[in-house]
Structure 1
Amino acid sequence: MNYKHHIVLSMVFVLALSGCDSKKTHGAKNSKEEKISGQAEEKERTPIDTLAYQQKLKALANGDTTGLWPNHLRSYPLDGAILPFKRIVAFYGNLYSKKMGILGEVPPKELWKKLNGEVKAWEKADSSTRVQPAIHYIAIVASGTPGKDGKFRTRMPEHQIDSALSIARMGDAIVFLDVQVALSDVKTEVPTLEKYLKMPQVHLGIDPEFSMKEGHRPGTKIGTMDATDVNFCSDYLTKLVKENNLPPKVLVVHRFTQGMLRNYKNIKLHPEVQVVVNMDGWGEPVLKRSTYKLYVYKEAVQFTGFKLFYKNDLKKAPHVMLTPQDLLKLKPQPIYIQYQ
């Protein structure tokens, strides 16, 4: 798998983003979003059906006998949890760039036609699991240039994030806001999205590939995050869920190398947050399966995801993109699917 090319393609946004102003705001406020962003009325939580939860996780383990999966004994979620009762199928990208993913490549109506096609394919492949469509938007983007503060990252203006939420509303989708911290860190960047993370339909993604803890420029090497970074995000989301009476949040952590996620055993789980480790590499099917086994299956956290690339997975003939039927053969079956 040519991860260098993966990084290069991810960085093409630099020219497209050169005119961004992170201080711009959308003039017209959506009153509905303001109401759901943190003023939910207090209500009594009903307990989750733990038996149904265990049975679903056992099914996702897909016959694994190693003891790694099902990994359900560490934490049970609050009521309203999406996973594992629904499979999330997400389209990924940035609205400023046609080369960072499908989300920026096609207009909204065409995008929804394609996303609905993927949803139907997954419903057909696994009729026992409902599908939750999602828009996974890169809200803080690692950059090839330092910017005014030298952090090599660009925060998307609010009107662009609002646009991603509007696209999601077209198909009753949830939203993930993805963070590439570059030379900054999650403690600084994630709270800048609090306005949105207080909304019940908005969740979080973090990308260790672009976390440059040793001070390298993004794109020159693959970055890393530690369990402490994941735990900060999980603790932060937990606090928002409790204070705003929200349903559990989903936290997606991208990974395709050993070094991208360190000390995974120290990752804390909360009833308020569901952690997905997402296999983020591209290449031929045998290599993608191997990456999943080495860095997602063997280092079990809570839930698993798998990324599919419409273009990069097909770079070398006769490579093909893995199908839902192919992914359902994995142990465990991924419950979060991302299309770039």
Structure 2
Amino acid sequence: MCPGFGVPLMKRGSGGTIHSTSGFCWKKVRILFRRHSKLQIHPKLCYDVLVKKVIKKNFILFFWVLVFLMFVLFLIFPEFFSSVESYKKDDQAIEEKKSITQPLPPLDTVAYDKKLNELANNPPPKEAITKIVKDLKTGEETIVTVESAPAPPNLWPVKTVYPNSGAILPFKRIIAYYGNLYSTKMGVLGQYPEEEMLQKLNVEVEKWENADPNTPVVPALHYIAVVARDHPTKDGKFRGRMPDSEIDKVLTIAKKINAIVFLDIQVGFSNVQIEIPLLQKYLKMPQVHLGIDPEFSMKNGIRPGKVVGTLDAEDINFAAKYLAKIVKENNLPPKILVIHRYTQKMVTNYDKITPLPEVQIVMHMDGWGGMAKKINTYQQFIYKEPVQFTGFKLFYKNDVLEPNTVLMTPTDLLKLNPQPIYVQYQ
């Protein structure tokens, strides 16, 4: 038998007999002979086959050894298998991880309080008045100081918890563009091509930097991630959730200008308790924050767009606590929670809304109209019902629909009491 092959050495004899030195099974030989009547395997042929098989075995062994060595090299020296671009991405990922995991400097509470007082923009106390009083009998004149009536206590700044270190507010002002990439009518974010939109945002950022040079500006993209519908969706909740691919696009655009991102929720017939957790993977990112819009929270069963909806302090506190949990578990700087408001009933039990060290809350006036109307709305529903910070929305189109009206400027907004620290353009 040819060693290692199970094939006998066979040679046809003169009488047609098959001889074998291997003791191989004669039955198999007969079958083989019938199929190949002229079969004749010589020792040289067996040797050639043996050599080929040894080479084949060694080649396979060599191949797997090579694969193993490459795997080991990949684990030890990954740079041999990666491009320069992947290096850059790895370095960026490391830097981002460091920025999250490295401890942030402690909050400067003195600077924090000072900035809050500046934002409050309270009018100065009225000074005492001096009068000259003349005695009618003697004609003698006396200078008398008349104290002004005591002013009511200031509502701003709000006395609440200090934020954790790394808080954006009140040290920086956020200037945001609002909208949805699918729609040109929901806001400037989706109205213009990407580059044009970013240029316009940069113009607004520069305006604010010039108007208030003492407050650095952070650009932001405020993206509607859950959009209320005026018709029922498949589950009957009258809201549509944007696909991850669209949110990813916004994150990519924001990264180009080092902007932060707000994901806004219009719940329709759903609720914040269901919708917010679905965005968890994005809210774990340090640059992503949250907005919720009571206008489209339809607790009364009427479809969105017919009447103005409402959220209670319980809903807002759920959102804040959920964000706080994410901040704690992922060692993140404080999140920002923006609440839209332009009517009394849009937010109920405002005094029970609880800011947390991990979450900064902005009550955002987003009504449209002329300057006088907007200022009045701000005074009635934002100033009189303080929570923590304030925001103000400007509409490029709706604010100038009335004759002889112009869009409010940064200088106009800086005259407000309190000054908004979050400004949104739609």
**TM range, normalised to the smaller chain?**
0.7 to 0.9
- Structure 1 position 317, deviation (Å): 1.1
Aligned residues of 1:40 and 1:245 also touching (Cα < 8 A): no
- Matching residue within 114, 125, 146 for 1:55: 114
- Structure 1 position 288, deviation (Å): 0.1
Report what 1:314 is aligned to: 400
Alpha-carbon displacement from aligned partner over 1:210-232 (angstroms, at most 9, x marks no partner): 00001110001000000001000
- AA of the residue aligned to 2:252: S
Report what 1:324 is aligned to: 410
d(CA) in 2 for partners of 1:252 and 1:51? 25
Report what 1:203 is aligned to: 289
RMSD: 1.9
Q: Normalised by the size of structure 2, how large is the TM-score?
A: 0.70
- AA of the residue aligned to 1:47: P
- AA of the residue aligned to 2:256: M
d(CA) in 1 for partners of 2:289 and 2:90? 20
1:287 corresponds to 2:373: yes
- AA of the residue aligned to 1:52: A
- AA of the residue aligned to 2:119: L
- Structure 1 position 42, deviation (Å): 4.7
Report what 1:76 is aligned to: 162
- AA of the residue aligned to 1:48: L
d(CA) in 2 for partners of 1:32 and 1:235? 33
- AA of the residue aligned to 2:107: I
Aligned residues of 1:212 and 1:218 also touching (Cα < 8 A): yes
Report what 2:17 is aligned to: none
d(CA) in 2 for partners of 1:214 and 1:32? 51
Report what 1:230 is aligned to: 316
Aligned residues of 1:36 and 1:199 also touching (Cα < 8 A): no
1:243 corresponds to 2:302: no
Aligned residues of 1:255 and 1:295 also touching (Cα < 8 A): yes
Report what 1:171 is aligned to: 257
Aligned structure 1 segments of 4 or more residues deviating by more than 3 angstroms: 30-46
d(CA) in 1 for partners of 2:91 and 2:296? 34
Report what 1:127 is aligned to: 213
Closer, same or farther: CA 336–95 of 1 in aligned 2, 3 Å: same
SS at match of 1:144: coil
- Number of aligned positions between the proteins: 310
- Structure 1 position 40, deviation (Å): 8.1
| Equivalent runs, 1:1-340 vs 2, <5 Å | 42-44=101-103, 46-64=105-123, 66-71=153-158, 73-340=159-426
Closer, same or farther: CA 286–33 of 1 in aligned 2, 3 Å: farther
d(CA) in 1 for partners of 2:386 and 2:371? 21
d(CA) in 2 for partners of 1:162 and 1:107? 17
Q: Which has the higher contact order (CA 8 A, sep 6+)?
A: 1
Q: Normalised by the size of structure 1, how large is the TM-score?
A: 0.88
- Structure 1 position 43, deviation (Å): 4.5
Report what 1:8 is aligned to: none
- AA of the residue aligned to 2:233: G
SS at match of 1:307: strand
Aligned residues of 2:100 and 2:286 also touching (Cα < 8 A): no
Alpha-carbon displacement from aligned partner over 1:67-102 (angstroms, at most 9, x marks no partner): 21111x211001110000000000000000000000
- AA of the residue aligned to 1:326: D
Closer, same or farther: CA 40–321 of 1 in aligned 2, 3 Å: closer
d(CA) in 1 for partners of 2:173 and 2:229? 32
Aligned residues of 2:390 and 2:421 also touching (Cα < 8 A): yes
- AA of the residue aligned to 1:54: D
- Return the index of the structure with the highest Cα Rg: 2
Q: Which has the larger helix fraction?
A: 2
Alpha-carbon displacement from aligned partner over 1:153-188 (angstroms, at most 9, x marks no partner): 000000001111111111100000000001000000
Alpha-carbon displacement from aligned partner over 1:251-291 (angstroms, at most 9, x marks no partner): 00000000000000000111000000000100011000000
d(CA) in 1 for partners of 2:113 and 2:242? 39
- AA of the residue aligned to 1:133: P
- Structure 1 position 35, deviation (Å): 8.3
Closer, same or farther: CA 34–162 of 1 in aligned 2, 3 Å: farther
Structure 2's unaligned 5+ residue stretches are 1-88, 124-150
Aligned residues of 1:38 and 1:198 also touching (Cα < 8 A): no
**Identity over aligned residues, as a percent?**
59
- Structure 1 position 47, deviation (Å): 2.4
Q: Which moved more, 1:37-46 or 1:53-62?
A: 37-46
Aligned residues of 1:37 and 1:200 also touching (Cα < 8 A): no
